[in-house]
Chains A and B, each alone.
Chain A
């Protein structure tokens, strides 16, 4: 399915969705964070979309917004899109978990919590996965400073 066809179907699944193909090989869908979970469930269940394979979930610090990028693929229909969601609150960023849509998100959300500090509502057990429980700060944020362990050029 072409990107235009995908865009036509996805437009009806939510409100205020933004679409762009600029500087990316995929169709990018930017979704307001309130609609993240409902859009994701529909992307998976819609008979003409069937995005069942979340092959890459990336945490992102756009400064000042934090966010998550979902690379999605349909193993049956072979088309691919990218879903982006942003959250402006850096003190207490919160998004909805999509682990009930794609179970792999469980682990990836732990990774994003660990490195970016984004909390996920309804996640089964949010915890530090790589770093120690007492670690302070979130290392992959752009404003993270650790003079002892980082070489700053």
Chain B
């Protein structure tokens, strides 16, 4: 038999395989039902709900102050930014203007949160692709941010530092110094990250040209955050709908047009520099002022609909509150970035290898509670 005849005789057939719910590359309990032919993926069907707690239903039962604490548990790596989103929505409904001090502190902590989240993503992205060292580098630096958070608000991950009307309490006296020390330290570490992973040839081969999203698809699938910006879709909420102190700082929206896994990687790496720059512009000029604007003990939003969006580390988080004037909201909807980003996964994973799906998912930076809510 010739080689061609041998090849024709080898047949494969399609079958189902479960990737997850306990798969290391999913970073949580996400189940993907793959239809595969050999090692080629034909279809990806996500099955969600393993960590679904129906936060939206719980919100209908709780007061506005209580809702803030539930949002920590969605995207736990952006917990401060989630809290901020709800607080901004409630403040919009009550027509409260918080002081400049609150705005600046919120922005600094939000950017520290973004750095911490991107650090964790960078560590596990390397790990997913077989480079374990990145994990230790990233966690060493992320630890410093968590220590700063712990000193100021008592928690390292689910911070609960925001309340409607301001902050729970003022920053710790050490906050400014420790943040500056961290920034000085971290600026020497980003080049190390690049040396270790960004310029690695194996890493390039695993990521370049893999999982390409076109700009049109990104818009149609409602993709946001670094995933959208890797495809050239300008979607940064901080630029288009500035909130807190983002209108008074100078930063670039990072855009790449390739749309592949490596482009998404580069967006996040360059966003680290932008976050560092935002913090540097604000940290020496924290205005004096109140850290709380008094609200009534029982907050009642006026009748109406309120929508506020913020840019978390993963993309656009929208909070929709429908109020009938009671102390509980009538309906709360969280438009989570992870859920919309996940919707494009099947579209870009057809006819690729399973290993490429792992690389693509790593570049999406999924946090499963954010998808499931």
Contacts and interface: CB of A to CB of B under 8 A. Distances in A.
Contacts of A130: 48-49, 52, 372
Contacts of A140: 54, 56-57
Contacts of A126: none
Nearest to A54: B222
Given A23-B303, A23-B305, A102-B222, A56 B333 contact: yes
Given A61-B331, A71-B318, 17 more contacts: A24-B305, A52-B220, A55-B316, A55-B318, A58-B320, A75-B233, A78-B240, A102-B222, A103-B220, A103-B344, A115-B56, A129-B47, A131-B52, A139-B54, A139-B57, A140-B56, A151-B61
Contacts of A82: 305
B318 A103 contact: no
23 contacts: A25-B306, A25-B307, A54-B222, A55-B309, A55-B318, A55-B335, A56-B307, A56-B318, A58-B333, A102-B222, A103-B220, A103-B347, A104-B223, A104-B340, A104-B343, A107-B339, A107-B342, A111-B339, A129-B48, A130-B49, A131-B52, A132-B49, A140-B56
B340 A107 contact: yes
B65 to A, nearest CB: 15
B287 interface: no
Contact of A53 (B54, B56, B219): B219
Contact of A103 (B47, B61, B221, B320): B221
Contacts of B302: 23
Nearest to A59: B333
A56 B335 contact: yes
A69 B347 CA distance: 25
A52 to B, nearest CB: 5
Interface size, B (range): 35 or more
Contacts of B316: 55
Contacts, number: 86
Contacts of B320: 56, 58, 69, 71
The 3 closest A-B pairs by CB, nearest first: A23-B304, A104-B222, A130-B49
A60 interface: yes
Interface in B347-373: 347, 372
A22 B302 CA distance: 12
Nearest to B220: A103
A107 B343 contact: yes
A106 interface: yes
A26 interface: yes
Interface of B: 47-49, 52, 54, 56-57, 61, 217, 219-224, 233-235, 240, 302-307, 309, 316, 318, 320, 322, 331, 333, 335, 339-340, 342-344, 347, 372
Interface in A78-94: 78, 82
Contacts of A139: 54, 57
Contacts of A115: 56
Interface in A29-55: 52-55
Given A103-B217, A104-B343, A139-B54, A131 B318 contact: no
A55 B333 CA distance: 12
Nearest to A130: B49
Contacts of B339: 107, 111
B222 A53 contact: yes
A86 B343 CA distance: 25
A52 B54 CA distance: 29
Contacts of B342: 107
A71 B220 CA distance: 13
A25 to B, nearest CB: 7
Given A23-B303, A26-B307, A139-B54, A52 B318 contact: no
A122 B199 CA distance: 47
Contacts of A26: 307
Contacts of B372: 130
A75 B335 CA distance: 18
B202 to A, nearest CB: 34
Contacts of B344: 103
Contacts of A102: 220, 222
A26 B241 CA distance: 14
Contact of A52 (B219, B306, B340, B347): B219
A145 B95 CA distance: 35
B49 to A, nearest CB: 4
Contacts of A25: 306-307
B305 A55 contact: no
B340 A129 contact: no
B221 A104 contact: yes
B312 to A, nearest CB: 14
A104 B61 contact: no
B33 to A, nearest CB: 11
